[in-house]
């Protein structure tokens, strides 16, 4: 047992921390200004392309991808601390490094399951940061936490598949650079429970694809993440070659996709919580009430101490989960993956709530990043299945040990 | 001791409940559509004027004002259950009845402390619902929970007062119908702690008044409440007659204003929580997961039961506070006013969080009112002073009993 | 609506508060000493008989009983504030006034359902405080929160009933003065769900009654309440006349018994919480750490303020429940009775936990009453059915409104 | 970074787990019976000596002591998982392995700071499990969380030191085998803040040592841990050679003693929480209510899942703390030591509370170990300084990073 990062991780952490200090943090106000001045509500700030170029130049590019040919060749455990750091500037850093959801998961899917042609056409430009992508799974009309509920149909018709259905919360799909969707649907609703689904590539500009609107989270459009689209697929036809892996493979692909995705989300949440704690401390030191900085108030001290305790605990469990995925695989890490999915957003939400409170009314406003970060942490208690579903599933596995 | 509403309250409740069913709830989707189609982000929906006309016709008008000549002639205890009902549709009902903050508090101030001329010029159109108003107290640069921190200056210069300062969170001031501000500032920074402040009437179109921007709460502009403005007062000159009550009276007026304001906020929060609970129940009944409505899930049942317990407890304390204000005055009800200020937003926030969770991802979106209502409940843990300041003050009074 | 106690209540409150000051609080250390010196671990302190005599002399006797002939002739709403006051000294005051559980419930059952002979033989000495009683319902082998689980049998055999079964948590049964048990069992296990049960009077000294042991709660024997016995009924024979009301009436009697019992428990918990808050305040004022009384620490202030808020809210809901029982009956007050059963022990537990923390290590010890009171509040989250069962039931009723 | 235990740890874990299964768990009912039958309330069960002999035979002896000559030669990180396992049977296993507090800390003090004579006289029999010891630090009259408050005096008089003072919560001192006390007091109240204190060895049978009583925690005497004594030192004279290390060294010794002690406490708490979770699962599976095992209830599943999440997080932070102590020393691990002191008892308390609730009324009683374990977890929120003091201190260190 050893709690130190290995040499490669330490080297990359240092490099990345320097990149954050030199390029990312200074770009934050620039990006904010560029977004405020943009006419298109879904525009991405120009400074982001500069960050991407610089990151790529420095070798801080596609680190999330274990494949050393296309990505960083890192284990989950090596990548996790880097993802945490990008979480400190979540609107810029992950995309600057080409490590932003949902592209990461989509690239993994293509790298693992894609044909050579699919890789050439979609994986390459994604790896180069030229285009972005979306993942279309959740549907408005059914409880999507139960995957067998999916109603979108993918029907073979000659050399094509015809797709019909309605999706929402397709994150990233409002981004004008988003060129390709991976759509989950059913090719055979009568097959065995986990063999009904398939995934298929649908270019965003295919006739019949109607991006209807962006969903809000609290009052935010999440434009910096490409929003969350509601999309209607109305007799959308794509070549049969666009199917990924094969009919009936959709559920298995989804499972393979989820593990790393959750690690990344959770590590970024740790970074978000760290930033919130830093902001809380700085505010506590600088804000005077009743004659002295509020850092002297016992209640504020409790928030700070308790935040530190919770962050440390959460980080270690995420790191251990990464290690388990590396050593015993996603399946062997199932309990821990669920545990961090349950525990980390709650932790981040708690720290952010206290940081907001320490900022007074400013904390809920656009003058600090806290309220928006809170909204995203809160939403992660629902994304990929609500906490309650994960707790139920985890409990059943725990109970099985005694049956 | 008697927990039944009196006859007058019951009669008004029935009338108001019918008004909600017949006019307000049906107007909600209309208003939403009108706002979505409006070009001005601060526009008010046209349907609101119809609601106001109807409410006035029915005698559901200015009920908040104890003065029977201009208002409903109701006690706090009689008005509170009506405010609760309006809270069920908080974007329309309070304004429809001309009982919306901050006008209510401002009208009370004018009714109690205004000169005949001030009443004629500002109170009358406010009572008629022709104009709206704002209250400019909080400042960005100081912890306003400590009233002696206020930095805005109100300096006599001949027949005029000259006002300089920066305010924010002036709720309602973004509303195009907002015509008049009541501004708190200091006329004598060297006077005794609670005799330094004054309040003065400043028409919104006075030269030197710069409404800079609307503050957001969790991404929302709160346009339906007229937003929360940041305002710069740059050598703003108004006639000396615009001063309310006199130099040094500002703190006392603020105190008089706060009690009823908190009762109203809290009662509306009870109504908001009731609506959230209703939505949670309806959703639980209609949403199927894992083969049956989620109403069958023990965790959802816990949320529902616990919501009911918390709402009942909170409502009674608010009602008792109203009764105390009626019987022993605001000062005698000080502990209880603080207690409801602390307890009610937390309760509503909790119920709303659970209702959101029961709605899945839809719950955080624009498709349900829950996330926006949550944001307002959360913000009320900061508005008029953060919870922590009120707890500290309440505790000190409690401790005094044993000193 | 009126939150003032009526004249009769006020008069009795004053009288009782004086009685507490003059007799009960001074008796606390005496009783403690007498108990410490007693050889019998179930002995009752001698000072208690003096308190009983004095209370009776002052007319503070049997106030719980609505029947004016034998009791105080008070409504639930009038009695509740008195029960709260006795809760401030829960080991002495309730029994001093002959208002202690489980006698109160048992006396109500006898007063409502008993025959003249049963009243003469058991109700009279109970009303006179000569004997005490126990209520034998919960069983160790089944989840007693589901009343149809009860396994004890009551079988008619000629002029007698024969009782077989095992009970536990029969509170008061370890008290040497306990002379009579009301035992719940099944006379007809094949009857309709709620017509299977009956209640029967079993003198404690009947052959076949084996009081096996006292159950502990968090290490306490609760000797001051007569303990909680495990009792085996082994072919116990009693005259057929000992049956209360009739075969199949047991469930209905239990329901009638529960409502007032919960009100009393909850009001005493309010009194307990008030005492804990007082102790917390006094400790905070007198205890110095890091150079000043801990009353200056923000965290301690939070505990105090939050305790006040929670106590006020809980008290009002209990009082409203009492009022509902008086005005619309136990059935009409069902939701509220469950709500206070859920909310009040949790509230008291919270306040006591903070009071303990403010007392440091002393708080968990025998030097302060806090830990023992905590244990009893905690146990009330399980007694008469765990919180979870009540929440489930309350939620189902709430959901029914929308079905 | 590596989350696997090393080979030595794995080997010892297996051995210890087997020892638990073969000897400790079977001894639990035996010990309980022996204690119930004992006349002396402070008696230790005879079976314990058998366990000790067996453990020693197997080489599971003194593992806590890093010194390979006298102890296990283990690092903190290697010992921690073993301490966790002993926590699963906290009344027997730690003492069976001669790894029970407060002996462990006292042996460390003697090993590090003792003279040869002190080691021969006291360390040797402690290492052999022949005698036990106590640590006398906390005092009833002052807030001992502030070490400079200590009032006990240690005054040189010729070849002797004279000790006067009153201590309480001297854990283990009620044990008849307890032969030696390490007493903290002041040799020079006028010296610099952290140079006033000293530690001195006082045999329990020295004239003037008055063991007054055992303090209770909730209703428990903690006899299985030797109780918590209140002790008066009345002109107690011991040879000057009994002083440990030197005058003014007391604070430094206390600091050195605290780190490992907290690790041990926290790891045992992890084991306690694991056992509580196991009991909760087993109960949930076997207990039927409303027609099916309560394991099917969503609320119970939530408790189980949430317990697993919290236990995993807490364990990792304790292990990391152990690793830090091994690699950067107690001082470098200061933040983490405080963090686990704050977080672990709260976690265990929460899990135990839920396990109790799942057991119904039995859960609070002597029929299950849960209530007693709860009481000890709760008490650890106060022992070695209340949570609040640690949070304050941790927060100040966190804030310092930004000053």
**Domain harbouring A164, CATH code:** 2.40.110.10
Q: Do D282 and D351 belong to one domain?
A: yes
Determine the Cα–Cα distance for residues C350 and C274; give it in Å rounded to an integer. Answer: 12
Determine the Cα–Cα distance for residues B133 and B123; give it in Å rounded to an integer. Answer: 10
Q: Do A238 and A255 belong to one domain?
A: no
pLDDT tens readout for residues D316-362 = 999 999 999 999 999 999 999 999 999 999 999 999 999 999 999 99
Q: Do D227 and D289 belong to one domain?
A: no
3-state secondary structure chain D: CECCCCHHHHHHHHHHHHHHHHHHHHHHHHHHHHHHHCCCCCCCCCHHHHHHHHHHHCCCCCCCCCCCCCCCCCCHHHHHHHHHHHHCCCCCHHHHCCCCCCHHHHHHHHHHHCCHHHHHHHHHHHHCCCCEEEEECCCCCCCCCCHHHCCCEEEEECCEEEEEEEEEEEECCCCCCEEEEEEEEECCCCCCCCCCEEEEEEECCCCCEEEEEECCECCECCHHHCCEEEEEEEEEEEEHHHEECCCCCHHHHHHHHHHHHHHHHHHHHHHHHHHHHHHHHHHHHHCEECCEEHHHCHHHHHHHHHHHHHHHHHHHHHHHHHHHHHHHHHHHCHHHHHHHHHHHHHHHHHHHHHHHHHCHHHHHCCCCCHHHHHHHHHHCCCCCCCHHHHHHHHHHHHHHCCC
Contact C215, C166 (CB under 8 A): no
Determine the Cα–Cα distance for residues A119 and A115; give it in Å rounded to an integer. Answer: 6
pLDDT tens readout for residues D127-186 = 999 999 999 999 998 877 677 789 999 999 999 999 999 999 999 999 999 999 999 999
Residue C18 lies in a domain: yes
Residue A212 lies in a domain: yes
pLDDT at B208: 98
Q: In chain B, which residues have their Cβ closer than 8 Å to the Cβ of C314? A: 313
Residue D121 lies in a domain: no
Whether residues D299 and B299 touch (CB distance < 8 A) is answered with yes
Whether residues B371 and A297 touch (CB distance < 8 A) is answered with no
As given in the structure block, the two tokens for residue D297 are 């209830």
Q: Do C67 and C166 belong to one domain?
A: no
DSSP B57: H
Whether residues D281 and A402 touch (CB distance < 8 A) is answered with yes
Whether residues C219 and D218 touch (CB distance < 8 A) is answered with yes
Q: Do D99 and D160 belong to one domain?
A: no
Helices then strands (H, E): number in chain B? 13, 10
Strands (E), C285-361: 288-289, 292-293
pLDDT at A61: 97
pLDDT tens readout for residues B110-157 = 999 999 999 999 999 999 999 999 999 999 988 776 777 899 999 999
Establish whether the linkage from the previous residue to C118 is cis, with ω within 30° of 0: no
Determine the Cα–Cα distance for residues A348 and A376; give it in Å rounded to an integer. Answer: 10
Helices B47-57 & B25-37 angle (0-180, nearest 10): 150
Helices then strands (H, E): number in chain A? 13, 10
Q: Of chain D residues 306-325, which have a CB less than 8 A from chain C?
A: none
B301: closest CA of chain D, how far (Å): 9
pLDDT at C255: 86
Exposure of C199 in the CB half-sphere (CA atoms within 13 A): 26
Q: What is the mean pLDDT of chain B?
A: 95
C320: closest CA of chain B, how far (Å): 6
Contact A226, A147 (CB under 8 A): no
Q: Do D367 and D295 belong to one domain?
A: yes
Phi-psi region of C115 (alpha: psi -120 to 50; beta: other; left: phi over 0): beta
Determine the Cα–Cα distance for residues C150 and C138; give it in Å rounded to an integer. Answer: 8
Residue C123 lies in a domain: no
Q: Which of D317, D362, D351 has its CA nearest to residue D336?
A: D317
Give chain D's domain count. 3
Contact B183, B200 (CB under 8 A): yes
Q: CA-nearest residue of chain B to C297?
A: B392
DSSP B168: E
Q: In chain D, which residues have their Cβ closer than 8 Å to the Cβ of B302? A: 298-299
Where chain D has pLDDT below 70, the residues are 145
Q: Which of A216, A244, A272 is the last residue of a domain?
A: A244
Q: Do D290 and D229 belong to one domain?
A: no
C209 sits in which H/E element: strand C209-214
- A/B interface, count of CB pairs below 8 Å: 125
Residue C327 lies in a domain: yes
User: What is the Cα Rg of chain D in Å?
Assistant: 21
pLDDT tens readout for residues B265-284 = 999 999 999 999 999 999 99
Range in A76-90, B206-220, C225-239, C252-266 the model is least confident about: C252-266
Contact A348, A332 (CB under 8 A): no
A229 sits in which H/E element: strand A228-239
| Residue A68: partners with Cβ closer than 8 Å, 6 or more residues away | none
Q: Do A259 and A285 belong to one domain?
A: yes
Whether residues B314 and C316 touch (CB distance < 8 A) is answered with no
C100: pLDDT strictly greater than 70: yes
Contact C65, C71 (CB under 8 A): yes
Q: Where are the alpha helices (DSSP H) in A88-123?
A: 93-96, 103-113, 116-118
Q: Which of B82, B27, B79 has its CA nearest to residue B53?
A: B27
Q: Of chain A residues 279-308, which have a CB less than 8 A from chain C?
A: 297-302
Whether residues B299 and D298 touch (CB distance < 8 A) is answered with yes
pLDDT tens readout for residues B342-384 = 999 999 999 999 999 999 999 999 999 999 999 999 999 999 8
pLDDT at A384: 86
pLDDT at C143: 79
Residue A298 lies in a domain: yes
pLDDT at B392: 96
Task: Return phi, psi of residue D234, to 5°.
Answer: -115, 95
Interface test with C, best of A296, A299, A358 (most C CBs within 10 A): A299
Rounded to the nearest angstrom, the gap between the alpha carbon of residue D10 and the centroid of all alpha carbons in its chain is 23
Q: Which of C218, C244, C270 is the last residue of a domain?
A: C244
Q: Which of C184, C145, C169 has its CA nearest to residue C225?
A: C169
Residue C319 lies in a domain: yes
B258: pLDDT strictly greater than 80: no
Determine the Cα–Cα distance for residues D356 and D349; give it in Å rounded to an integer. Answer: 10
Percent of chain B with pLDDT over 90: 91
Whether residues B220 and A218 touch (CB distance < 8 A) is answered with yes
Helix (H, G, I), strand (E, B) or coil at A228: strand
Determine the Cα–Cα distance for residues D292 and A46; give it in Å rounded to an integer. Answer: 61
Residue C145 — very low, low, confident or very high, per pLDDT cuts 50/70/90? low
Q: CA-nearest residue of chain D to B294?
A: D298
Rounded to the nearest angstrom, the gap between the alpha carbon of residue D231 and the centroid of all alpha carbons in its chain is 19
Q: Do C237 and C262 belong to one domain?
A: no
Residue D2 lies in a domain: no
Does the CB of D343 have a partner CB in chain A at under 8 Å? Answer: yes
Whether residues C301 and B396 touch (CB distance < 8 A) is answered with yes
Q: Do C390 and C337 belong to one domain?
A: yes
Percent of chain C with pLDDT over 90: 91
pLDDT at C378: 97
Helices B387-400 & C250-286 angle (0-180, nearest 10): 80
Residue C257 — very low, low, confident or very high, per pLDDT cuts 50/70/90? confident
Burial group, residue D363, by CB count within 10 angstroms (0-12, 13-18, 19+): buried
Q: Which of A87, A114, A141 is the last residue of a domain?
A: A114
As given in the structure block, the two tokens for residue D146 are 């502030």
Q: Which of A369, A374, A353 has its CA nearest to residue A32?
A: A369
State the average pLDDT over residues B235-246. Answer: 98
Provide the sign of the torsion angle of the four alpha carbons C36, C39, C42, C46, taken in this order.
negative
Percent of chain C with pLDDT over 70: 100
Determine the Cα–Cα distance for residues A313 and A348; give it in Å rounded to an integer. Answer: 12
Neighbours of D84 (CB within 10 A): 24
List the single residue in A290, A364, A386 with the smallest CB-CB distance to B218.
Answer: A364
Determine the Cα–Cα distance for residues B98 and B124; give it in Å rounded to an integer. Answer: 12
Exposure of D371 in the CB half-sphere (CA atoms within 13 A): 28
Q: Give the pairing of strands C178-186 and B160-171.
A: unpaired
Q: Do B313 and B336 belong to one domain?
A: yes
- Here the CATH number for the domain that contains residue A79 is 1.10.540.10
Q: Give the pairing of strands A132-136 and A178-186.
A: parallel
Q: Do D167 and D239 belong to one domain?
A: yes
pLDDT at A256: 85
pLDDT tens readout for residues B152-203 = 999 999 999 999 999 999 999 999 999 999 999 999 999 999 999 999 999 9
Where chain A has pLDDT below 70, the residues are 145
Determine the Cα–Cα distance for residues D366 and D312; give it in Å rounded to an integer. Answer: 28
- B/D interface, count of CB pairs below 8 Å: 13
List the single residue in B216, B360, B378 with the smallest CB-CB distance to A143.
Answer: B360
pLDDT at D145: 67
- C/D interface, count of CB pairs below 8 Å: 124
| Residue B340: partners with Cβ closer than 8 Å, 6 or more residues away | B262, B263, B266, B314, B317, B318, B321
Whether residues C388 and B278 touch (CB distance < 8 A) is answered with no
Determine the Cα–Cα distance for residues D136 and D185; give it in Å rounded to an integer. Answer: 9
pLDDT at B384: 86
pLDDT at D255: 86
Greatest pairwise CA separation for chain A in angstroms: 78
Determine the Cα–Cα distance for residues D348 and D381; give it in Å rounded to an integer. Answer: 11
Strands (E), C277-351: 288-289, 292-293
Q: Of chain A residues 100-159, which have a CB less than 8 A from chain C?
A: none
- Here the CATH number for the domain that contains residue A299 is 1.20.140.10
Query: Cα B380–B282–B92 angle (5° rounding)?
Result: 45
Domain that holds residue B35: 7-113
pLDDT at B145: 67
């Amino acid at each position: 047992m050893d709690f130190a990062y290995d040499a490669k991780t330490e080297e990359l952490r240092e490099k990345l921390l320097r990149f954050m200090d030199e390029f990312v943090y200074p770009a934050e106000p620039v990006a904010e200004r560029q977004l405020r001045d943009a006419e298109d509500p879904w525009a991405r700030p120009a400074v982001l392309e500069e960050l991407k170029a610089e990151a790529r130049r420095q070798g801080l590019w596609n680190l999330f991808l274990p494949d050393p040919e296309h990505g960083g060749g890192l284990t989950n455990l090596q990548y996790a601390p880097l993802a945490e750091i990008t979480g400190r500037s979540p609107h810029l850093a992950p995309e600057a490094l080409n490590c932003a959801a949902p592209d990461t998961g989509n690239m993994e899917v293509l790298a693992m399951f894609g044909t050579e042609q699919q890789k050439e056409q979609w994986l390459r430009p994604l790896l180069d940061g030229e285009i972005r992508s979306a993942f279309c799974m959740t549907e408005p009309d059914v409880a999507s936490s139960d995957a067998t509920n999916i109603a979108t149909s993918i029907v073979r018709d000659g050399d094509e598949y015809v797709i019909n259905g309605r999706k929402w919360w397709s994150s990233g799909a409002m981004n004008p650079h988003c060129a390709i969707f991976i759509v989950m649907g059913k090719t055979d609703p009568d097959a065995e429970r986990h063999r009904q689904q398939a995934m298929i590539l649908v270019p965003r500009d295919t006739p019949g694809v109607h991006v209807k609107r962006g969903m809000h989270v609290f009052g935010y459009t999440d434009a910096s993440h490409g929003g969350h689209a509601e999309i209607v697929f109305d007799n959308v036809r794509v070549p049969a070659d666009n199917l990924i892996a094969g009919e009936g493979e959709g559920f298995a692909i989804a499972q393979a996709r989820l593990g790393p995705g959750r690690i990344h989300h959770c590590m970024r949440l740790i970074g978000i919580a760290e930033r919130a704690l830093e902001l809380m401390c700085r505010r506590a030191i600088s804000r005077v009430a009743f004659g002295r900085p509020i850092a002297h108030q016992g209640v504020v001290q409790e928030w700070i101490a308790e935040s530190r305790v919770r962050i440390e605990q959460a980080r270690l469990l995420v790191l251990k989960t990464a290690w388990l995925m590396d050593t015993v695989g996603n399946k062997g890490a199932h309990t821990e993956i669920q545990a961090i999915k349950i525990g980390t957003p709650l932790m981040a939400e708690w720290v952010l709530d206290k940081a907001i409170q320490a900022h007074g009314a400013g904390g809920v406003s656009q003058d600090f990043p806290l309220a928006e970060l809170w909204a995203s942490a809160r939403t992660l208690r629902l994304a990929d299945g609500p906490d309650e579903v994960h707790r139920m599933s985890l409990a059943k596995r725990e109970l099985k040990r005694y049956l």
